[in-house]
Homo-oligomer: A and B are copies of this chain.
Amino acid sequence: MKLQVGVIGATGYTGYELVKLLHRHPQTEIVWATSESSAGKRLSELYPTPDDTPLIKQADAPLAQADVVFLCLPHVASMEAVAQVRAAGARAIDLSADYRLPDPVVYERWYEHPHTQTVLLGEAVYGLCEINRRQIAGAELVANPGCYPTTVNLGLWPLARAGALGPRIIVDAKSGVSGAGRKLRLGSHFVEANENLSPYSIGYAHRHIAEMEMILGPHVQGEIEIAFSPHLIPVNRGILSTIYIEVDPALSEREVRGIYAQAYADEPFIHLLPPGQLATLGHTVHSNRCAIALTPLPRPGQWIVTASEDNLLKGASGQALQNMNIMFGLKETTGLL
C-alpha cells in the first residue's frame, strides 16, 4: 500500500514542486493538500497544470489519515502546525526554519520570535541527508534544511569533519528568483529582476547563517566567522555558492581532494567535479543533485569551493522527499532520478 501523504501549504513554489514530485513517486499518494488563501479551489486554477488536486483549509485537513505530512509554510506559522501534525500521530517533514535550530535562544535571535514548542524542538532531526542519514531514518520530525545552507554545508562538510577547515569563511551566493517565493514584491517583478543582479542582506545579516554555524561551527578551530552575501540573479531556479575558505596548509591538493572523494564516494546526489571544472547552475537545475568543485589558490591553504543546487529540489522539496524516503526505509533515490 502506498504511503498516505498530506501537504500543508501546497500552493507556494516549494509546495507545488513537492506535489509534482509526489505524483511521480511510485509509492506515495496525496490524501489531502491545504492552502489557506485558495481553499475551495483546485491546483489547476493556480498553476498552468492539469492537476486537479482540491485544496482545503488546514483546519479541515484529516491529519490522522496521513502517514507523513509535509509542511510548506513560512517560519513561525509552521511552529504550531507541526505540533498538531505530531499530535495526530503523523510523521512530519517541515520545510520551514522553525525546527532547524535546536537552541531556542538562537532561534529567537535570528527569527525574532520565541519558540513555543521547545519539547518538540528537542526531538527534531536536521534533515541534511548526506550528513544525518542515520538519525533521519528513525525520526518522527525532520526539519528540512534551508536552501543556501545546503550548498555551503555540503560544500564544506568533508573538510569540517576532518578538522581541516579554518574558521574564516566567505560565502558569495547567487540565487534564482523562485527562492524569494511567489508573493508579489517589487524585487520579484520581471522588469526589476530581469537584466539585473542584486545583492541583498549581505555581510552578517541573513538568517541562513545560523544553519551554517550550527553544522560547521563545532568543527573549525576557534570561533567561526562567516560572511554571507546572497545575490538575486535573473533565473527561475538554482543557487550557486562561491565559497572562500582556509584549509589546513599541511594538506596537499591531492589530500584535500581525497577527503571529498571519500566522504561522497557513495552519495547518489553529490556530483563531485574533477579538477579544472567548476560547478554551474546547469549541473543541478531540474535535478536533486548538489555539484561541488574545488579550486586551489596559489597561496597554500587557500581554496575556493563552488557548489550548486536547484533551490526547489535539493534546496527544498527534493531533499524533503529524500528525507521521506529515508524515514520510511524506501530506496533513497525513488522518485528523484
Contacts and interface: CB of A to CB of B under 8 A. Distances in A.
Interface of A: 13, 23-24, 47-50, 170, 172, 174, 176-178, 182, 184-186, 188-200, 202-204, 225, 227, 229, 231, 233-238, 240, 242, 244, 271, 278-283, 285-286, 289, 291, 295-299, 302, 304, 306, 308, 337
B189 A184 contact: yes
B202 A23 contact: no
A183 to B, nearest CB: 9
Given A48-B280, A190-B193, A203-B298, 4 more contacts: A191-B236, A197-B281, A234-B235, A244-B244
Nearest to A272: B50
A282 B189 contact: no
Given A278-B198, A337-B23, A295 B189 contact: no
Contacts of A281: 195-198
Contacts of A337: 23-24
A211 to B, nearest CB: 18
Given A184-B189, A233-B233, A197 B49 contact: no
B191 A229 contact: no
